[in-house]
Amino acid sequence: MDNGDIENAEEEFPGRIGARKYRPVVANDRAVLQMSSIDPGSSSSSADHQASRQKIKVGKQANMGADSNGGSLPVHEQANGPSGESKLELFGFDSLVNILGLKSMTGEQIPAPSSPRDGDDVSITLGWPKPADPKFGTLMGVFVPCLQNILGIIYYIRFSWIVGMAGIGESLLLVSFCGLCTFLTGISLSAIATNGAMKGGGPYYLIGRALGPEVGVSIGLCFFLGNAIAGALYVLGAVETFLKAVPAAGIFRETVTNVNVTTFERVESPSPHDLQVYGIVVTIVLCFIVFGGVKMINRVAPAFLIPVLFSLFCIFIGVFLTRKDHPAVGITGLSLDTFKDNWSPGYQNTNEAGVPDPEGTVYWNFNALVGLFFPAVTGIMAGSNRSASLKDTQRSIPIGTLSATLTTTVMYLVSVFLFGALATRKKLLADRLLTATIAWPFPVIVYVGIILSTLGAALQSLTGAPRLLAAIANDDILPILNYFKVADGNEPYIATLFTAFICIGCVVIGNLDLITPTITMFFLLCYCGVNLSCFLLDLLDAPSWRPRWKFHHWSLSLLGASLCIVIMFLISWAFTIVSLALASLIYYYVSLKGKAGDWGDGFKSAYFQLALRSLRSLGANQVHPKNWYPIPLVFCRPWGKLPENVPCHPKLADFANCMKKKGRGMSIFFSILDGDYHECAEDAKTACKQLATYLDYKRCEGVAEIVVAPSMSEGFRGIVQTMGLGNLKPNIVVMRYPEIWRRENLTEIPATFVGIINDCIVANKAVVIVKGLDEWPNEYQRQYGSIDLYWIVRDGGLMLLLSQLLLTKESFESCKIQVFCIAEEDTDAEALKADVKKFLYDLRMQAEVIVITMKSWDSQAEGGSQPDDSMEAFTGAQQRVATYLAEMKAVAEKNGTPLMADGKPVVVNEQQVEKFLYTTLKLNSTILRYSRMAAVVLVSLPPPPVNHPAYFYMEYMDLLVENVQRLLMVRGYRRDVVTLFT
């Protein structure tokens, strides 16, 4: 093909998305090469490329016939061995023995490798596996971490105060309300965690795989922040308790003193500077422990947990041993009268330290207590955060998480009754460390328990948060998190340092009451995500949804999600809005900057079921014109060659976008690959990926399809019959006009072109043929002038609708529409013009109407006013038609057969052929006279005449489009696409 072909046409398109400069597409264009999914220089077939990637590495222990040089053999050779030795060669797959990595049918089994992702290299190592780090069971892997996180400072120094403020009745409601929320979340967590293998990342992994990467990353990062900030909360609680127990340890020797107006007792608090200094030191020490890895943490965990459990035992013993004659004022022992007095709530004002004060700035109610108490029930994700270190996640997470939740909830409920019957309301509100006061035998046991419980919870937070961040980074969704990636089995040291930095920053703030609502919101956001994930998966009930945990239902998950949202707004609507805004910002950032991650999430399943339901609701009947959308079937295969690795003419995507209003609608881009399906199937898949990538590059929302067929005609005939579903079948076939067919002597094009048009007519598809596609403007090239419609036949309003869609694009918004109508007589002109104007007015379309009569055509021809170039084209067409007809007659006389063209008999009426040529000449002359400077011209497409050779039809079309720069030939189908009615 010479330089006049399409690849050397004056075609320009952006080198990058959003650019303002344009340059032609060339074969070595970097942007084009990047769009290709294969190496442009590779000459090997896709099958060879696939086989070269999938190798099995054979160890020395497995004598499978590998060569002595250790070279890799293809999968089929190594899996089945020589063809004469394999008994399962008939099935065409690797034998089950080798796929599972077994040494022999009777020998010792080697654990099966995990399933690779699509596109990953398959590497199966035969022989003894590499020893892995020890995994943990339900007790040490889930139950103990959850228990350490849940049993925190709130119980020791805030719980008795909550009972005194809310009363026994509302305290029971408070504990039940918060406990129900976490218990329902635990059920949802158990269901999702038992629905398949679970990697590291805990709730992030579950939410991301259920609701998609954007939601997973946004909630996962918020949960990471919540865990990191929670570590600061626990550290501050431990330091505050230590300084209260040992006031002499204070460095700055200053205390903050408040007076309890109710009892006139002095309540002293440690210096904030002491909290900051000790908190930073403790955080650093905990970081060193975390750096030792999960193994070290599990060794240290009993040292933290056992004293905590012993302190709880001492508190309960102290409750039963306390008598009325206890020297402390206000402690009555377990008394029914005290129980009755403390049943009702006693909400009142306090100062910022929680000391009752009628003039205090803080008024406590049930909503405020929810925010204060809820952190005492959080921590249920501590086990799932370490999912990568568990032996059996599907067994350990449900049992360990729900057991820890029920254990702590029951303990809280029992403690409400005991504290409510033990001391007067004044004592409950005045003594923040009532648990230490009543502990048997010494209060110091509770102090030790508080410090170790909070340090244990802080240790679990500093362990789970870095692993959560590393799991998000390893999914490679956000490039900014690449610094926190870790290899499998390694410790996330950088993520741990970053978590410690956040924790130290919050410790410097030193205000528990400011930190607590922030943690609560992030935890509730994560719990809501877990419940919504289970709700969506349970409601959709996809075939892949088969959790081993059977005690779940979508209504329970929905109730859990609703409780999370209610609690968030009960605590603080301001904090709720801030946390949701932060998650939304992260979501928006991930959607813009993040990489695509298709994890088969629940939203994809929801979209699928919604699409099926919508498709069924559309029915099989035709869509009403008010709801009609163009669904173009864009034929990408050109009448010639394109630059290498460009699967579609660049301007076809631009034109397809012009057929959509504000991007609404669907386009199907297809091409036909000549050959045998079995031989070309892999090539078709590769070409389809290339085409889909190119459409994304051109920002054209469409579906790519590649069909293998023996010929273009057969392939198109199959596509036009089968493409689409129901009323989502394509209704317009769009293709380029074959302008090069005569120049390149492509003699097969006329028959193919006419066959495609006839197939569209039979299949009741509209047709839009674009002439001058190389000059079609892109979105940045603004056009001026007019859009001229030569409305010759009734087409259901398709031509009018296309002109209106063009006006909605920036390229053509400065143009105006002119409608040219053809009248038989001059007397019909005015009436036709009035009717067309009224019709356009009713259609809400603004256009100038111009009526041209047949008499004016004839007068132009008689007066010799035809353009010279049109007459020259007309004369050339006459000569070529006469020559072709003479050759047909000569062949027929020689063979003694009737006139044959394109392998079938034809009947040629020479007068009719002359008439058709003359009609197209008049129409071309009129277009050149009125619309030579138009931005684009639309004209009705004449159908191929019956029994005329395809060559003659191409001559008619060539004469029609001669010297018209940009032309759309439109043929509607047997239905209206516009309506006058509202």
What are the DSSP calls for 739-795, one per residue? Answer: TTTTTTT-TTHHHHHHHHHHHHHHTT-EEEEEE-GGG---TTS---SEEEEEE-S--
Contact 790, 927 (CB under 8 A): yes
Cα(434)–Cα(428) distance, integer angstroms: 7
Q: What is the pLDDT of residues 119-147, one digit of tens each?
A: 444 443 344 444 555 577 888 888 888 88
CA 129 remoteness from chain centre: 37
Strand partners, 635: 670
| pLDDT value of residue 49 | 43
Instruction: Output phi, psi for 204, to 5 deg.
Output: -60, -45
Among residues 214, 284, 104, the alpha carbon closest in space to that of 583 is found at 214
Q: Which residues of 466-494 are buried (b: 16+ CB within 10 A; e: fewer)?
A: bbbbbbbbbbebbeebeebbbeeeebbeb
Q: How far is it between the farthest Cα atoms of the chain?
A: 133
Q: Which residue has the tokens 């005939």?
A: 717
Radius of gyration of the CA atoms of the chain, in A: 39
Amino acid identity, residue 895?
N
Q: Specify burial of residue 564 (Cβ count, 10 A radius: 0-12, 13-18, 19+).
A: buried
What region does 475 belong to: left with phi over 0, alpha with psi -120 to 50, or beta? alpha
Token couple for 26:
């060339």
Cα(924)–Cα(916) distance, integer angstroms: 12
Q: How far is CA 771 from CA 13, 207, 651, 670, 678, in A?
A: 18, 51, 12, 19, 36
| pLDDT value of residue 171 | 95
| Domain 621-771 falls under CATH 3.40.50.720 | no
Q: 3-class SS at 216?
A: helix
Instruction: Output phi, psi for 487, to 5 deg.
Output: -75, 155
Q: What parts of the chain have a pLDDT lower than 70?
A: 1-134, 200, 253-269, 324-328, 353, 510-516, 594-602, 618-627, 640-645, 662-665, 743-745, 854-869, 975-976, 978-982
Q: For residue 191, count other CB atoms closer than 10 A to its CB.
A: 27
Cα(342)–Cα(426) distance, integer angstroms: 10
Contact 895, 933 (CB under 8 A): no
| pLDDT value of residue 183 | 95
Cα(110)–Cα(641) distance, integer angstroms: 54
Q: Which helix (H) or strand (E) holds 822?
A: strand 816-823
Per DSSP, helices labelled H in 572-601 are 573-593
Fill in the DSSP letter of residue 944. Answer: P
pTM tops 0.85: no
| pLDDT value of residue 624 | 67
Q: What is the pLDDT of residues 828-840, one digit of tens each?
A: 788 888 888 888 8
Q: Which residues of 38-47 are buried (b: 16+ CB within 10 A; e: fewer)?
A: eeeeeeeebe
Q: For residue 960, count other CB atoms closer than 10 A to its CB.
A: 21
**Architecture of the 138-593 domain:** Up-down Bundle (1.20)
Q: Which residue has the tokens 């690449």?
A: 482
| pLDDT value of residue 33 | 34
Q: How far is CA 859 from CA 444, 830, 856, 922, in A?
A: 116, 19, 5, 11
Q: At what angle do helices 512-540 and 366-373 cross, to 10 degrees?
A: 90
Token couple for 782:
């603004």
CA 42 remoteness from chain centre: 33
**Domain residue extents for the chain:** 138-593, 621-771, 790-856+868-969
Q: 3-class SS at 355?
A: coil
Instruction: Give the per-residue SS3 of 188-200.
Output: HHHHHHCCCCCCC
Q: 3-class SS at 404?
A: helix
Computed from CA positions of residues 489, 490, 495, 501, in that sequence, does the dihedral angle turn out positive or negative? positive
Cα(407)–Cα(404) distance, integer angstroms: 5
Computed from CA positions of residues 188, 193, 196, 200, in that sequence, does the dihedral angle turn out positive or negative? positive
Q: 3-class SS at 459?
A: helix
Contact 241, 449 (CB under 8 A): no
Q: For residue 344, count other CB atoms closer than 10 A to its CB.
A: 12
Among residues 414, 393, 253, 237, the alpha carbon closest in space to that of 319 is found at 414
